[in-house]
Amino acid sequence: MKASRLPVRSDFPADAQFVIKEFDVPLVHEPGIGWFNWFTGTAQAYDPAWLRADNNWPAESFGEWVALIKVTVR
């Protein structure tokens, strides 16, 4: 994937979970692969030990999730 392009839904497996942490961190969980932080538009491995029940929630839509990335891409 090119760094200049925002991710699209088809970049991820159908069972990927899109999560928002602390209001502005777009995370994705790809079952069997792991967790990734997409802040700034580049996937970085993410340690899920940082997740707690009160600091993250499922994104309401893929659009909501990718909108967080859009504001962090330079």
The percentage of residues in the chain with a pLDDT greater than 70, rounded to a whole number, is 95
Q: Does the residue 23 lie in any domain?
A: yes
User: Chain-centre distance of CA 68, in angstroms?
Assistant: 9
pTM over 0.85: yes
Domain span holding position 49: 9-70
Average pLDDT over residues 22-50: 96
Domain count, the chain: 1
Instruction: Extract the tokens encoding 67.
Output: 């909108």
Whether 4 maps to a domain, the answer reads: no
User: Is residue 22 a part of any domain in this protein?
Assistant: yes
- pLDDT classification of 21: cutoffs 50, 70, 90: very high
What DSSP designation does 22 have? T
Q: How confident is the model at residue 2, as a pLDDT?
A: 45
State yes or no: pLDDT of 74 exceeds 80: no
Q: Is the pLDDT of residue 26 over 80?
A: yes
Report yes or no on 1 lying in a domain. Answer: no
